[in-house]
Amino acid sequence: MVYLIVNWVSSVLSLLAVASLVPGCQILEFESALVATGVVGLISAGLGALLKQASGAISLVLSSLFLLIVDTLLFRMSALVVPGFVMRGFTPAIAGAVVLLALNLVLPRVAPLKEDPLDSWTRS
């Protein structure tokens, strides 16, 4: 449970960083950032997983480009669903997806999260 909360908080901070770094991407309230993080995660886990599996047969270069497009569309869809999460156009969605991807690649290496040992008993 602690791992989930710390992971969510780091994702919220990443999304707030995206909103401050990318012009055209804006989060109006902190509550919107909390909800947007959940929506981005749910959409990415559901629809994103299906679309990314569909790209499995495509070559590596085209697959990477396709994954960027999928992440951009999912990011844009999240902005359409969550009030207070504003994205003005498709270009901020591309830039936001790239920045969020970069942050999600760097943050776990800078501050590695370990699963809570107390949560292991619930998985048996």
Find all residues with CB under 8 Å of 67, minimum gap 6, and list them: 52, 55
Chain segment 24-80, per-residue pLDDT in tens = 888 888 888 888 888 887 877 777 667 666 666 555 556 667 777 877 888 888 888
Is 116 part of any domain? no
Separation CA 56–CA 47 (nearest Å): 15
Question: In the chain, how many domains are there?
Answer: 1
Residue 97 CB neighbour total at 10 angstroms:
24
3-state secondary structure of 25: strand
Per-residue pLDDT, 113: 61
Domain span including residue 41:
2-111
Is 48 part of any domain? yes
Of all residues in the chain, the percent with pLDDT exceeding 70 is 71
Is 107 part of any domain? yes
Chain segment 50-66, per-residue pLDDT in tens = 766 666 655 555 666 77
Per-residue pLDDT, 112: 65
Per-residue pLDDT, 97: 83
3-state secondary structure of 87: strand
Structural contact between residues 73 and 48, judged by C-beta atoms closer than 8 angstroms: no
Is 47 part of any domain? yes
